[in-house]
Structure 1
Amino acid sequence: MAVISFLEEHRTWVLTGESCTYALRLDEDDVPTHVHWGPPLPEADVVELMESTLPWWDGFNDPNEGLGELAADGGTRYWTPALQVRFADGTRALEWRYADHDVTDGHLRLFFEDRHYPLRITLHYRLRGAVLERWTELGADTDVEVVRADSATWALPVFEDYRLSHVTGRWAAETQLHRSPVPHGETVFGSRRGITSHHANPWVMVDDGTATEGHGEVYGIALAWSGSWRLTTTRSSTGRLTVSGGFGQDGVVHRVGPGRPLTTPVAAGLYTDGGFGAASRAWHAYVLAHVLPHPDELRPVLYNSWEATGFDVTEAGQRALAERAAALGVELFVMDDGWFGARTGDHAGLGDWQVNRERFPDGLKPLVDAVHGLGMRFGIWVEPEMVNPDSDLHRAHPDWVLHHPHRRRSELRRQLVLNFARPDVAAWAHEWLDRLVGSQGIDFLKWDMNRPFSEAGWPGERDQDRLWVEHTRAVYALLDRLRADHPGLRIEACAGGGGRIDLGVLTRTDQVWTSDNTDALDRLRIQHGYGQVYPARAMSAWVTDNPNFVTARSVPLEFRFHVAMAGVLGLGGDIVHWPEDDLTLARELVALYKDIRPVVQHGALYRLRPPVDDGVTALQYVHGDRVVVFAYRQAAHFNAPERPLRLAGLDPAHRYLDPDSGVTHSGAVLLARGLPPGLPTGDFASRVVRLERVKI
């Protein structure tokens, strides 16, 4: 249970959650100032920490620099600013004045004003389990330009050294994990693309360079935002490190005024002393408990038609795929691109969301009914934020796209971006989506977004920069409204693969498409980086055909299944043409996945051996009395002997039964000495081991 205390004599607030204490105070100038973030501390120890702070500096080196809770620009504050404002008369410096505070149900609000100008700042703190959520609200009675408005500044303890963990990538190679020393000065991670992006993801973790998977202090910060964003680490010569982050990018100005407040997205912070593994498990628990809209559900096994048919979509072809999918045990059938307008390729029709009557003479309802009759739910692909120039929508409303006067409209994938910040565009999107879902009996939307912003202008609008924030918020609002109007609807977020994965989109979707790259070998590393913060419960993973359409690599079907079964299992191959042996194996593995699904989707993840080389990698899920181990040999070299996998998260006082072999194992032995993987010989060998705790 979260506890928030106010030490009035010291003007200090202490927040204590499941595994950490966070404390801040007001300094003599009313500036909200950091005191502690880390292991749980009693209030008396927090007071002792304040007494050790030295209010001295020599004019060049301020020992307290960087301790601002929201580092503001102005005066003698030279740290990376989290808040920069410009008033109507050109004044830029902010001077804090404390007004009041409020505590309600684990939520602390601190109210401030500028000492002269009518600017109001509210700092929010909310404890949810092991995670502290922070965000900022700005309001003003006259127009104020906000040059930068981060959600929070996070000050870390002074360590001997710092190491940074984060992910980078590109299309079809998302979420590649990197760990490296934190450079001195400012290091910026971010996206200027209007979406989260394939190239970086809005989270970082920091340790002192000695943390391992199972030991050591780790601090993590993650943004709940799906538009442009940035996280800045600042490391000074005095040893202090901060992480500041929020939405926005250089050159984009927010305008706050009467009736136009600004609220930043949540920046979530997490501390653990249990290493990277404990950090990931805490993030996963937070997402399941406080982020995902239907966390207790088991995500269904799905089939998606894209790789089987491409744009060559017909009712007969989709029925054939659906019948085969149902026979394999699939529970959700998803028809991808090509069902609407003149969409026979990527060159035309996007934006014209009417059923193509040449392909579906009687509309979609006969196919939807047939899929439902096979015992499956029906899903459909949409890309509401995009339009082809060759479309009826664009010909009727060329002003609806992002554009600048006298500048070309850059096309990527032969598409332009619709400006969802416009109320008429958002209303149009809601009308056809609401009609599609409601009239056709749609159970599931695969919501795609296949290109970043360009020429992000809004001719005729006085405050054009607001589209960078309002577009994303309009997408959020539309998703929220569809969910409210259609409680049974489930949604998958996609952006050309993993271009929109973050805590913001997960708040209103049920799963995310991790990458367009379904190559099982590459997916091991993509899924490894994804799982540092985000849970398997939301990680969509498909089994597709050989050779893989991205890498041209051929991998055994069992290996492909076993990799995809570590998340939300899907099938995406041309299953109508699979040989009978493959179909038989697929039915068996789908059945196996359904058995282990509660453990994978709701269990605690332990990374036993990461995919850092081309040898054996393994991971484990624990849920209640059940354990599932996935082991993969990527490549075999020099006839290397098989090393046992030391399991984790078990009860050493109990025994564990392998129901497939009938053998029981001591929990203490599995923890101390490990489990032989028992992998078949050769490359691309894999195995799934099920264990059940034996009642004593």
Structure 2
Amino acid sequence: MAIFFNEVDRTFHLQTIQTSYMMQIVNEGYLAHLYWGERVREARMPRPLRYRDRGFSPNPNSDDRSFSLDTLPQEYPGYGNTDFRSPAVYIDQNNGSRITDLRYLTHRIYNGKPKLQGLPATYTENESEADTLEIDLYDHVIRLKVTLQYTVYHDYSAITRSVKYRNEGKETVRLEKVQSMNVDFRDSKFEMINLPGAHVRERDIERLALRRGSQSVESRRGSSSHHQNPFVALVRPETTETCGEAYGFSFVYSGNFKAEIEVDQTEQTRVNIGINDFDFSWKLEHNQTFQTPEVVMVHSSKGLGEMSRIYHNLYGDRLIRGRYRDQERPVLINNWEATYFDFDETSILNIADRAKDAGIELFVLDDGWFGKRHDDFTSLGDWFVDQEKLPNGLNALAEKINAKGMQFGLWFEPEMVSPESELYKEHPDWCLHVPDRRRSQARNQLILDFSREDVCNEMIKRVSVILESAPINYVKWDMNRNMTEIGSAFWPEDQQKEVAHRYILGLYYVLEKITSRFPDILFESCSGGGGRYDPGMLHYMPQTWTSDNTDAISRLRIQYGTSLVYPISSMASHVSEVPNHQVGRITPLSTRGHVAMDGNLGYELDVTKLTEEDIQEIKQQVDFYKTVRQTIQFGDFYRLVNPFNEKDYGSIHVNQDKTEAVFIHVNQLAEPNGPFKSVKLSGLDPDKDYKVEELDAIYGGDELMRIGLNIPYPNRDFNSTLYRLSAVN
């Protein structure tokens, strides 16, 4: 058991392999936060809570002016009861009150981890893998039970948290803010890291010192978004990749979210994260429950690199599910940047022929195969084959590609509908909309109302018919716009603020049904590239199209930022043609290959227009990648050179027994008469010797990590280096 309760001093102690997390029931039942950090053996607390009369901090117990919720480090703070900081919960009641007073009621400790109803979450495969603590807090006035759920994994230094609400009162209440977790730190000597960005420029790394007052990271776009990611970290100013404290908060959700960090009057820091309370309200009637999504919390005392590897391992092993969780991902070619909408069966088969010559294993037919889809103005929702482009149908095309020894994949966008479509003409109220308001379009499309079960079931039916019609091994599931005019013709007026969250619940319902019905299909999530790259989607789809930007140099920053949280096995990365379609840059094919090999290798270009020399180079890339993809996709990943701070990029993938490694380095811009460069490697066994295959030289792991390895002098922009290291003892 990794969770302990001391009945004498009423403390809870949660232990992972490397960390401890402590709470205490204090002063008439309030739940206080004591400690989260490096693991300790016992919770004897040499630094107990201290109290002092802080003027203008009122007291719930008038007999003790030193005790105030305004200064108490809390586990799950409410509103209006002497705490002026941002609450984790805010509830509207029928009498106009918004006050909550949550006190400890009881708790349970048990083996295993419960599923969250209707929501994705990390999981266990047997009860011995984790222990769970549930603490019931209770507001006796409105008879509201709030259950804090904590799970501690034995093999991963991670703690998951979520909250379940149950209305045991007779009066209906409205949940206006329901964060999934809260942590109050006793100091503010932190910097905040988040992952802002934009379409084709996802997941930059931003690191700023905390200031007094509030700072937040959020999405109001109906999805987790290109613009922010549902992740924040607090780190000490001295924290680097390899040393220092890092606290990570990753939200397992694909819709609107908000992470708040507040530094208070006594320089304590409050962190909470959950569904965005902006434009959110949930009607909770007698005996109804509401479950919040999960937050995965990771503490590292050895820098950001260790924090990332904990997330990589946990998400790779116990968030991603299904056949492809542990299986090497195929090298694919996608026809989008080769043909866009302009293709037919002959042109597709010609591309497949050349791709097969290069050793590529999977052909993916992208947008344009259905309805009357000759551009992006029509046909979304009409999931039937365009007989003009594919007169013999999908099955015949797939079988012809299979006959070449390749698998076949297909693009969908099931959450969307074109106003110019048969589906929209039949069901104009099936999209998100508000009466008497325009239906704003983006990419000439509207969003289907997945808050409705009938719409969800119809899309399950339409997609399933296609997936059953041909030997389809892969699906790219796209979503190319954010929500506007959020409303539903199905839900009553007093539940319209529930629609955005109900949409996400409907999406998860659809994904659960389809991925369960077709367990042998590899699903890849996409939203204009990386616009919904979040843990919620990874639960159903083991990989994500990292960005619509396929430029190798742009990808260095995008993939570096993505790796802060998400496993390499989830990161789809493709070689495209030059000049690049997004930024016009011309980079060597070798560099494009090396950058794409830093994730799940694929190609997105018209191979029929390449020279034989280029085809042979691609074949060499593919052949090499197949020999190391187990290490790249499932090994330990170390960031070596930060492209946000340096002119270069460097990384290394190391397999589990440290017998093989793949080192990648990219020089972004050559300098005239520039310096010689070297890089210290990471993750190797210092007691092993490694042969660097491309140099035909043997060095000690300790030498490579402590002295470093020379980088070839760059004689041009965008020069890259890839070395394979093999242990020789």
Which category of TM-score, normalised to the shorter sequence, fits these structures? over 0.9
2:368 maps to which residue? 338
Alpha-carbon contact 2:78-2:102 (below 8 Å) kept: no
324-333 vs 190-199, greater mean Cα deviation: 324-333
- Selected match of 2:622 from 579, 590, 604: 590
Query: Alpha carbons of 1:286 and 1:195: their partners in 2 closer, same or farther (altered >3 Å)?
Result: same
Instruction: Kindly provide the amino acid, as one letter, of the partner of residue 58 in structure 1.
Output: G
Alignment of 1:381-420 (within 5 A): 381-420=411-450
1:123 maps to which residue? 148
1:551 shift after superposition: 0.4
| Separation in structure 2 between the aligned mates of residue 692 and residue 259 of structure 1, nearest angstrom | 61
1:65 shift after superposition: 2.3
| Separation in structure 2 between the aligned mates of residue 477 and residue 32 of structure 1, nearest angstrom | 35
| Separation in structure 2 between the aligned mates of residue 319 and residue 162 of structure 1, nearest angstrom | 56
1:431 shift after superposition: 0.4
Alignment of 1:242-321 (within 5 A): 242-258=270-286, 260-293=288-321, 294-321=324-351
1:57 maps to which residue? 54
Alpha-carbon contact 1:193-1:453 (below 8 Å) kept: yes
- Selected match of 1:488 from 507, 517, 520: 520
Alignment of 1:554-573 (within 5 A): 554-573=586-605
| Separation in structure 2 between the aligned mates of residue 498 and residue 138 of structure 1, nearest angstrom | 32
1:329 maps to which residue? 359
Residue 216 (structure 1) aligned with residue 249 (structure 2): no
2:118 maps to which residue? none
Alpha-carbon contact 1:537-1:601 (below 8 Å) kept: yes
Q: Provide Cα deviations, 1:282-311, integer angstroms capped at 9, x if missing partner.
A: 111111121111431111111111001101
Residue 646 (structure 1) aligned with residue 680 (structure 2): yes
1:34 maps to which residue? 33
Alignment of 1:622-641 (within 5 A): 622-623=654-655, 624=657, 625-641=659-675
135-144 vs 378-387, greater mean Cα deviation: 135-144
1:18 maps to which residue? 17
- Selected match of 2:109 from 103, 110, 122: 103
1:435 shift after superposition: 1.6
Instruction: Kindly provide the amino acid, as one letter, of the partner of residue 632 in structure 2.
Output: V
| Separation in structure 2 between the aligned mates of residue 614 and residue 672 of structure 1, nearest angstrom | 20
Alignment of 1:423-438 (within 5 A): 423-438=453-468
Alpha-carbon contact 2:186-2:267 (below 8 Å) kept: no
Q: TM-score, normalised by structure 2?
A: 0.92
Query: Alpha carbons of 1:497 and 1:83: their partners in 2 closer, same or farther (altered >3 Å)?
Result: same
Alpha-carbon contact 1:544-1:572 (below 8 Å) kept: yes
Alpha-carbon contact 1:605-1:622 (below 8 Å) kept: yes
Alpha-carbon contact 1:70-1:152 (below 8 Å) kept: yes
Q: Provide Cα deviations, 1:301-323, integer angstroms capped at 9, x if missing partner.
A: 11111001101131112111112
Q: 3-state DSSP class of the match of 1:150?
A: strand
Alpha-carbon contact 1:418-1:425 (below 8 Å) kept: yes
Alpha-carbon contact 1:632-1:687 (below 8 Å) kept: yes
1:546 maps to which residue? 578
- Selected match of 1:89 from 95, 102, 115: 95
Instruction: Kindly provide the amino acid, as one letter, of the partner of residue 251 in structure 1.
Output: D
- Identity between Structure 1 and Structure 2 (%): 33
451-460 vs 59-68, greater mean Cα deviation: 59-68
Residue 225 (structure 1) aligned with residue 291 (structure 2): no
Alpha-carbon contact 2:13-2:43 (below 8 Å) kept: no
Alpha-carbon contact 1:154-1:243 (below 8 Å) kept: yes
- Selected match of 1:602 from 610, 634, 647: 634
1:146 maps to which residue? 175
Alpha-carbon contact 1:29-1:96 (below 8 Å) kept: no
Alpha-carbon contact 2:176-2:277 (below 8 Å) kept: no
2:42 maps to which residue? 43
Alpha-carbon contact 1:202-1:222 (below 8 Å) kept: yes
Alpha-carbon contact 2:670-2:714 (below 8 Å) kept: no
1:373 shift after superposition: 1.8
2:232 maps to which residue? 204
1:682 shift after superposition: 1.4
| Separation in structure 1 between the aligned mates of residue 535 and residue 106 of structure 2, nearest angstrom | 30
1:489 shift after superposition: 1.5
Query: Alpha carbons of 1:686 and 1:143: their partners in 2 closer, same or farther (altered >3 Å)?
Result: same
Instruction: Kindly provide the amino acid, as one letter, of the partner of residue 543 in structure 1.
Output: V
1:667 shift after superposition: 1.6
| Separation in structure 2 between the aligned mates of residue 614 and residue 274 of structure 1, nearest angstrom | 22
Query: Alpha carbons of 1:396 and 1:114: their partners in 2 closer, same or farther (altered >3 Å)?
Result: same
1:545 shift after superposition: 0.6
1:276 shift after superposition: 1.2
1:378 maps to which residue? 408
1:501 maps to which residue? 533
Q: What runs of 5+ residues in structure 2 fail to find an aligned partner?
A: 59-67, 112-130
Q: 3-state DSSP class of the match of 1:438?
A: helix
74-83 vs 254-263, greater mean Cα deviation: 254-263
| Separation in structure 1 between the aligned mates of residue 20 and residue 209 of structure 2, nearest angstrom | 26
1:236 maps to which residue? 264
Alpha-carbon contact 1:248-1:468 (below 8 Å) kept: no
Q: 3-state DSSP class of the match of 1:153?
A: strand
| Separation in structure 2 between the aligned mates of residue 307 and residue 258 of structure 1, nearest angstrom | 54
Instruction: Kindly provide the amino acid, as one letter, of the partner of residue 138 in structure 2.
Output: E
| Separation in structure 1 between the aligned mates of residue 143 and residue 429 of structure 2, nearest angstrom | 36
| Separation in structure 2 between the aligned mates of residue 358 and residue 251 of structure 1, nearest angstrom | 45
Q: 3-state DSSP class of the match of 1:151?
A: strand
| Separation in structure 2 between the aligned mates of residue 354 and residue 23 of structure 1, nearest angstrom | 56
Q: 3-state DSSP class of the match of 2:450?
A: coil
1:683 shift after superposition: 1.1
363-372 vs 613-622, greater mean Cα deviation: 613-622
1:670 maps to which residue? 704
Q: 3-state DSSP class of the match of 2:146?
A: strand
Residue 134 (structure 1) aligned with residue 134 (structure 2): no
1:44 shift after superposition: 4.0
Instruction: Kindly provide the amino acid, as one letter, of the partner of residue 13 in structure 2.
Output: V
Alignment of 1:454-473 (within 5 A): 454-462=484-492, 463-473=495-505
1:168 shift after superposition: 0.8
| Separation in structure 1 between the aligned mates of residue 614 and residue 714 of structure 2, nearest angstrom | 18
Q: What runs of 5+ residues in structure 1 fail to find an aligned partner?
A: none
Query: Alpha carbons of 1:245 and 1:614: their partners in 2 closer, same or farther (altered >3 Å)?
Result: closer
1:613 shift after superposition: 4.9
Alpha-carbon contact 1:217-1:273 (below 8 Å) kept: yes
Q: TM-score, normalised by structure 1?
A: 0.97
Q: Provide Cα deviations, 1:353-378, integer angstroms capped at 9, x if missing partner.
A: 01111112221001111122222221
2:211 maps to which residue? 183
Residue 112 (structure 1) aligned with residue 137 (structure 2): yes
1:426 shift after superposition: 0.3
Alpha-carbon contact 1:631-1:679 (below 8 Å) kept: no
| Separation in structure 2 between the aligned mates of residue 401 and residue 211 of structure 1, nearest angstrom | 47
Q: 3-state DSSP class of the match of 2:233?
A: strand
Q: Provide Cα deviations, 1:251-298, integer angstroms capped at 9, x if missing partner.
A: 321111246421111011111110111111111111112111143111
Query: Alpha carbons of 1:66 and 1:610: their partners in 2 closer, same or farther (altered >3 Å)?
Result: farther
Could you say what the CA RMSD is over the residues aligned between the two structures, in angstroms? 1.6
Instruction: Kindly provide the amino acid, as one letter, of the partner of residue 665 in structure 1.
Output: Y
Q: 3-state DSSP class of the match of 1:132?
A: strand
137-146 vs 269-278, greater mean Cα deviation: 137-146
